[in-house]
Amino acid sequence: MTSLQSRVLIGLIGFPSVIYIILNHIFIFNTIVVICFILAFKEFAEIVNRFKDKTVWLIFGLIYIFGSMVSLIYLRNIDSIMSSPFTFLLFAGVMVNDSMAFIVGKTLGGPKILPKISPKKTYSGLFGGLVGSIIFILLCDNYFLNSFTEFSLNNTDKIFLIFVFNIVGFFGDTFESMIKRKADVKDSSGLLLGHGGMLDRLDSLILTTPVTMFYVIAYYL
């Protein structure tokens, strides 16, 4: 099975499972979030332990990773109070963006964005992620959201979410790639059997979560 087929299969199985838990089981969701972020920090610590200034990086990692964890739990609690869909949109949107960027980039190839830091990222993949994000937001707004909430997205929400999925998520992903290159490792670990480690899977989410939380607080609370 190729990496593309493997990613598609995991997406078909994992995507509905994650969305179901987000929408229906807050305690289970929060528990899984805590476990996943602890694993991500463990991998981060093992990577930066190779650095001369590892203490500084460890302190940064504590703030960066666990700050995001707290933001995600808080965002889910906000959603439960407001009946808003931001946690769902964040998870699903990041997954759609990452998957479309990978599939289009793998299929079309083309010039690399940052070959020395993240040699697999291409402009075609970035464009594929953007198109996937726009389609995802439009489908959610017009068809999916009204099946479980009366909350509707305004134009500012849509623009913000597309920006978060593509720009903020890209920087989160690239930042993790930069750390791995600095430590001369390919994946954060081998935890997920051919798909790297937990940090590899959460890299975009770690940065997009606090940005989304602050947006929701600023505009809705």
**pLDDT digits 0-9 by tens, 137-185:** 999 998 888 888 888 899 999 999 999 999 999 999 999 999 999 999 9
**Model confidence at 8: pLDDT above 70:** no
Cα Rg of the chain (Å, integer): 17
Q: Which residue has the tokens 């607080």?
A: 217
The answer to whether 218 touches 75, Cβ cutoff 8 Å, is: no
Return the pLDDT at 24.
84
User: What is the separation, in whole angstroms, between the first and last Cα of the chain?
Assistant: 47
Task: Report which of 194, 174, 191 is spatially closest to residue 182, judged by C-alpha positions.
Answer: 174
Query: Considering the chain, what is the average pLDDT of its residues?
Result: 90
The Cα 63–Cα 44 span in angstroms is 12
Residue in this structure with the two tokens 């994000």, named with its chain if needed? 133
Is the sign of the CA dihedral 7, 23, 197, 127 positive or negative?
A: positive
pLDDT confidence tier of residue 1, bands split at 50, 70 and 90:
low
CA angle 117, 6, 44 (to 5 degrees): 40
> Residue 100 — very low, low, confident or very high, per pLDDT cuts 50/70/90?
very high
Report the candidate in 147, 195, 166, 137 with the shortest Cα–Cα distance to residue 14. Answer: 195
Distances (CA, A) of 215 to 8, 65, 89, 121, 160: 31, 19, 14, 28, 9
